Structures are given as C-alpha cells and as structure tokens.
Amino acid sequence: MTTKTTSPDGAIARLARLCYRRRRLAVLFWVLGAIAVMAIGFSFSAKASNSFGGGGSESAKVQKVLDAHFPKMNGDSITLAVQADRDVRDPAVRARVQPALDRLARTPHVTGVTSPYQGPGRISQDGRIAFATAQLDVGSADMPKSDVTKLISDVRSDQDGVRLELGGSSVSTAETPGGGSSEGIGVLAAVVILLIAFGSLLAMGLPIVTALFGIGTALALIGLLGHLLPAPSFSPIVAALIGLGVGIDYALFIVTRYREALHDGEDPESAVVTALSTAGRAVLFAGTTVVIALLGLLVMGDKLLAGVAVAASVTVLMTMVTAVTLLPALLGFTGRAIDRLRVPGLGRRTERPLAERWANVVQRLPVPSALVAAGLLVALAVPALSMRLSLPDSSTQPHTSSAYAAHEIVARGFGAGVEAPLVIVSEGGDAARVADAVRRTPGVATVQPPRTSSDGAAAVTIAFPRTGAQDAATQTLVHHLRDTVVPDATRGTALAGKVYIGGPNAASIDFADNVQTRLPWLVAVVVGLSLVLLVALVRSVVVAAQAALMNLLSIAAAYGVLTAVVQWGWAGRLLGFPGSMPVATWVPMIMFPILFGLSMDYEVFLVSRVREYHERGLPTRQAVAGGLARTARVITAAAAIMVMVFLSVLLGADVAVKQLGLGMGVAILIDATVVRMLLVPALMELCGEANWWVPKFIRRHRTEHPHHALPTRS
C-alpha cells in the first residue's frame, strides 16, 4: 500500500520548502536577530504612561489648566497616615511622626510636605487619626519604585501605640510587582499539557522554543515602539500572556499536522510543506484575525489603549512569523525523530476518538444540544448586566499592603471621600460662587477655599465627596455637579462654560464613560472585519455568521462570570481578590478583541478541517464528525494551555491584570467546551448543506486552496 499526495504549491508552500532546506541559515538568522533586537529594545525601552482618560474629556481640560497655571500640582502625592491610641498632638506621638515627615521631605521628587499639624482638617475629631501629604513633581509611573520601596520600609511601623502607613498611587505602584512567577508557571503548565498531548519531549519542546523566540523579540520591539506610542505599565504583561498563549498554540497546531503527515507516510520535507500549507495557512488567517481585532481598540480614541493594541498586535505578529519560519527550520532538524524521547503512557492515539463519538451523539440530538449550550451561555452572561467600571485605587489593593492600610486609616478618620478629591478649576470670574454651590450639594463632605494662580488667570478648588472612588454614588455626584450644579451656578456670569471638574477620580469616571460610549463601535468593527476574513478562509457566509454569534455569546458569558466573581464577590477571595470591587475599566474592553480573535482561532482550525473533508466529497455530517475528531485533541490541548497561562496571573498582585486573566481564562474554557464541542456541531448539523452557502459573486472569485489535506491510499 502506497500513499499518494498532491504536492502543495503557492507562497506558503514555497516558504516552507525554503525554511526547511535552508534550516541552518534560518535558525542562525533567528538566533542572531533575536539577540540583537532584545539587546537594543531592552536597553532603550520607553517609560510606561498610565494617564487614561485624556483626549477631550473634562478631566483632561482640568489637567491642561493645572499645567498652565498650577505647575506644582502636576505630580502625584504620597499620604502619610497616622493612627495612635491617644491624641496625635501628644508630644510622644509627635516625636514618632516628625522623623517620618523628615524622611518624606528627603525623598527624591518630593517638592513639599504638609504636616498634619499645619492647618485645619488633617486631624480627626477624636484626635487619634491624622494625615500628612507629600507633593511630588512627577506622576506615579515616573516615580522610581526603588525610592518608594525604601521609603515604605523606613516609615511604615506600628510601635508604642502609633501606627504609620503610606498611601497613594506611587505607593500602590511600588507595592504591585510588574511581573513575577506567573509567566513561569504558565510555561510549566504548557510543558505538562504538551507532554500529555504529544507524549514526546522533543515534540513538546518545539512549540515552547518557538513561542519564547516570538515573545522575546516582541517585548523588545514594544519597548522601542513606546517612544512613538506610549503604553501603560501593564502592556508588557498583557502582551506576554497573549503571546505565550497564541505562540504555543500556533506552533502546536503546525507540529500536530506535521506528525500526522509523517504518520500518513510523507517524507519530512513534504510533511513540513503539508503542515505549513494547511495548519500554517490557518495560523496566518487566525493570527491576522487576532491582530485586526486588537487594532480595533484604536476606535476607542485613547492613546494609551492604542499603545496596548499595538503592543499586543506586535506580539501576535511575531509569534505568527516564528511559527511559519523558525518552526519549519526546527522541524527540518528533527525530521522523523519528532516522536523520540517518548514518555510512556502519554500521547496515545485511538482508532475512533472520543470526540468523533461525541459529535455523533450531538448530531443525533442537535436541537436539545443547541438549546442546552445557548441556555448555559445566556445564564452565565446575566451578571454582566450589572457590571460597573472603575480604575483600581488604594481601596482595591491587597489588605496586607501599606497603601490599603493607609486608605483604611484615613477613611476611618475622615470618610471614604477624602481619597477621592474632585479638582474644580475655573478660568477667571468668582470661583467662590462655584465653591459655595458645590458645598451645598448633597453628597459633598467638605470644600476647600479656592486658590488663585500666581498670574490671577485661574482658580482651583478641591471638593471631597462623602463616598469613595469605587462607590457608584461618587460617579453620580460627578455627573450631577457637571450637568446641573456648576451650570446653574455660573449661568449668566463670566464663568459660564469655563469651570471644569477633574482630578484622578473624575478622570477614571471619564474613562469609564468613554468605554461605555465607544464599546459598541469596537464590537461592530471587530466583528465586521473578522467576518470578512473568515468568509475568505472557509468560503461560507453561514459558518462565519455562526462563528460571530457563538463568539459573542461566549464573551458575554465570560463577562458575566467576571462580574459575579469580582463585583459580587462570588469566590473572589478564593481566587485572590482582596474584596468586592468594580471591574477595572479597561479590562472588558481589552478582553473583547482578544477573545474574539482567539475564539476565531479555534473556529478557523476546526472549520477549515471540516471544509477539507467536505471538499473531498463527504456529506456535512461526516465532515463535521471527522473534522472534530481530528482537531478536538489539539484544540483541547491548545485551550488548556491558554486557560492555564491566563489563570496563572491570579497568583500575581495587580488586581486589574488578575481580572483580565480570570475573564480570558474563563472565556477560553467556555469556548473550547460548550461552544466548540456542543454548539458548533449542533448548529452545523441543523444547517446541513446550507453551511457552505456563499453569494455567487464570492463563489465566482474564490480561490480554491490545494486539496492536500487528505492523502489518498491505493
């Protein structure tokens, strides 16, 4: 018995042959190129920027006025919280507080320290709680972490009945590691899963090596691109997570197809060409979908979100490039030895896979299967209807941190709103008129007297709400002040249209409002472009529409689970969240394009295989069962890697990144199980041959890909 195959042709096949035959040159190019790029990129990387809510928002206008007329208010501030078992004015307490104030004053970038013993309002009514403020000349992202960490170590104490804690954005940033062991744990989980899937140490190592080359070069490029397009501090973490997941998955799909071609009797070079022309082609389409979905974030109009989009897109792009250039070269060195170094008992193949038997069961009961899957997804999505958005602050930090301890002390003595100040600026006119109107507004605790700039052109007033930054009532108050109180107080005066309300709290609210306004545009752009790509690949409008609908359902379900855990507190502490909190503003927005693109990955790998069987003359039912049987194992392994990589960040300290990891991990789990294994075969069974319908104008201009997937035997 011999095996006959049609040799694939085309650009991808030629690239595969070139990388295989020139494998030494290809590997050398990648090694030297990666070293050069990483040396340059990590040495000259740009600083992170965390200034969300810019553009034309009212908080951005406030910042412009402050920059022009109050330059000393441009930076962040550090709060020293004092709690004593007696009056803080007691000489013994003051003797403990004064050295801390002196240490604050000596800290780099501190321009001045306001003692609790200077001026009113800094000592609580019972006299046992006080706070001091150190003004910085830089933002929290630019404050050296080493200086803040040393300051925390020197000042934080609880002795002789006096407790000293430090708070503020700079402290939270210093106490929140940017990386950690989570990426290493993700790689270790991927190693275990690949061993189970392949049963071979050599086959397991290739996807890991390929992914690490792509991620390393991408992170270096991200650092350089930051000079042109600033990105927030969490961008490298998000990019590394996505890159690790897709990089391993893309290589996994290609290696799996290579092994299948060898088992079908092809020689190593032909197997590489077959793998790249099938799985590699799907990788390029899938990766392009992810990149386009990520670049959909550009419609949000926020420069930092654009930075996140570009950073993640570059990472996906580099993992795609390594998968179709470096991996074929590495496969050339392994040849037929891909299955050597086997681990006993792992990677076994069965004559009739469980997935094929499962597909047959679903196909016999398509309506109940579809209803059960859709009902489960809708039920999981319900909590998302109550989702609230806000940026994390000191109140959402781990309860063992100094930032959270300072927040608790100050809130206990002065109310939760003292750490959510509203900065009200006015250009000309009687600022006291506005301050009086704000002071009389329900929900406002105190209002400081207006301060006039040195040039007399502007005034600034600080108002403190009764509720904290994470409280929905604070957001309502900001909108009420902007929409009603300030316009009523300035109508018919020189201040009309020249009073703005901003500050970090208001900027967070503006950012959340911008997300809610522009998210529908993001959804429309991402879904529309992804549909066009999927139609081009599978040449079916029906299958593409099914994919879009199922992806939207799975993402909505992930939103619901995220809301229930983070906001409602269901199992939140068990998963490492210090308490109930709103969902971080940027998390659902970044989740959507990433998840839509990744879900399309699995759709592409499954449906393209089904399409291959159908084009060989099999009816849809058998094509679906065969396609699911041949891809279920690899999709399950790929999804398991993704889930473990994303959930590994739950071991980290950044609550917003943990939310992102939880949401994406849950979404991939849902997509690989409920959607791919239940909803897809059920819907394709119900649609039958209609699955492959395309308009005539597409059918006339389609380009048939080579029928190389299924070798014939004679």
DSSP category for residue 8: P
- In CATH terms, are 1-44+199-349 and 403-508 the same topology? no
Distance CA 32, CA 433 (A): 67
pLDDT for 666 equals 95
Distance CA 94, CA 619 (A): 85
Which among 67, 53, 60 is positioned nearest to 458, based on CA atoms?
67
CATH class held by domain 350-386+518-694: mainly alpha
Distance CA 528, CA 525 (A): 5
**The token pair that represents 234 in the structure block:** 């969490």
pLDDT for 672 equals 86
CATH class held by domain 1-44+199-349: mainly alpha
Which among 455, 614, 624 is positioned nearest to 546, based on CA atoms?
624
On the question of pLDDT at 346 being above 60, the answer is no
**Which of 182-191, 311-320, 613-622 is most confident?**
311-320
- For tokens 């019972």, the residue is 126
Q: What is the residue-averaged pLDDT of the chain?
A: 87
Which among 633, 651, 644 is positioned nearest to 668, based on CA atoms?
644
- For residue 128, CA distances in Å to 119, 157, 402, 577 come to 17, 16, 19, 30
pLDDT for 714 equals 28
Distance CA 98, CA 293 (A): 54
CB contact at 8 A, 587 and 387: no
Q: How confident is the model at residue 517 (pLDDT cuts 50, 70, 90)?
A: confident
Each residue of 198-213: pLDDT tens digit?
A: 778 888 899 999 999 9
**List of residues 6+ apart from 659 with CB closer than 8 A:** 562, 566, 583, 584, 587
- For tokens 């001091």, the residue is 132
CB contact at 8 A, 33 and 211: no
Residue range 585-603: mean pLDDT, rounded: 85
CB atoms within 10 A of CB 371: 12
Helical pair 235-263 and 268-275, crossing angle rounded to 10 deg: 130
CB contact at 8 A, 588 and 391: no
Give the distance from CA 33 to its chain's centroid.
Answer: 28
**List of residues 6+ apart from 365 with CB closer than 8 A:** none
Helical pair 586-615 and 680-687, crossing angle rounded to 10 deg: 50
- Domain 76-175: CATH architecture, name and number where available: 2-Layer Sandwich (3.30)
Distance CA 82, CA 116 (A): 9
Surface-to-core class of residue 609, CB atoms within 10 Å of its CB (0-12 exposed, 13-18 middle, 19+ buried): buried
Each residue of 459-472: pLDDT tens digit?
A: 999 999 999 989 99
H/E segment holding residue 555:
helix 541-562
pLDDT for 181 equals 60
Distance CA 428, CA 394 (A): 34
CATH of 403-508, one of 3.30.70.100, 3.30.450.40, 3.90.550.10, 3.40.30.10: 3.30.70.100
Distance CA 389, CA 514 (A): 11
Q: How confident is the model at residue 71 (pLDDT cuts 50, 70, 90)?
A: confident
pLDDT for 711 equals 38
Domain boundaries, the chain: 1-44+199-349, 76-175, 350-386+518-694, 403-508
Residue range 346-371: mean pLDDT, rounded: 77
Q: What is the DSSP string of 563-575?
A: IIIIIS-TTTTTT
Q: How confident is the model at residue 101 (pLDDT cuts 50, 70, 90)?
A: very high
Each residue of 610-660: pLDDT tens digit?
A: 888 888 888 888 888 888 887 888 888 888 888 998 998 898 888 998 999
pLDDT for 344 equals 63
pLDDT for 701 equals 53
Percent of the chain with pLDDT over 70: 93
H/E segment holding residue 152:
helix 145-155
Surface-to-core class of residue 97, CB atoms within 10 Å of its CB (0-12 exposed, 13-18 middle, 19+ buried): buried
pLDDT for 598 equals 81
pLDDT for 709 equals 40
pLDDT for 570 equals 95
Q: How confident is the model at residue 710 (pLDDT cuts 50, 70, 90)?
A: very low
Q: How confident is the model at residue 297 (pLDDT cuts 50, 70, 90)?
A: confident
pLDDT for 703 equals 45
On the question of pLDDT at 708 being above 60, the answer is no
Each residue of 465-504: pLDDT tens digit?
A: 999 989 999 999 999 999 999 999 999 888 888 999 998 8
